Amino acid sequence: MAFGKAGMDSDLVTIRNIGPATARALIAAGVPDAAALRALGAHEAYRRLLLAGGRAHFIGYYVLQMALQGRPWNDVKGDEKAQLRRRFDALRAEIGGGPPAGIEADLDLIGLRRT
């Protein structure tokens, strides 16, 4: 069964917060469907995205976490968000994700992101 213009045979887009572009990236990273994503978990799936050449971005990381919990992408807050940030930073360090880029680098520069 194909899903619109994405032209993919995957049910990844049936998971809340996962659109065609994310589904294509997951498939390219070796996560072909929703069952595989659920079996791997969000952390390992995101690790595979990065190893496949994806750019590290904290929002993408926590959106995938929320997706597998069936929660809105922006539902993460407070201690939960801080814990996810630590896991994301550790993952980036593990795979050599390099220093923050874009707005994250700017926020670090002015002291607003890291504690």
CB 41 within 8 A of CB 22: no
SS3 content of the chain, % helix, strand, coil (to 5): 60, 0, 40
Q: How far apart are CA 98 and CA 2, in angstroms?
A: 37
pLDDT per residue, tens digit, the chain (115 aa), is 344 444 356 899 999 999 999 999 999 999 999 999 999 999 999 999 999 998 899 999 999 999 999 999 999 999 999 999 999 999 999 987 555 556 666 666 666 655 4
Q: How far apart are CA 44 and CA 61, in angstroms?
A: 10
Q: Where are the domains of the chain?
A: 4-109
Instruction: Give the pTM.
Output: 0.76
4-109, CATH topology level: DNA polymerase; domain 1 (1.10.150)
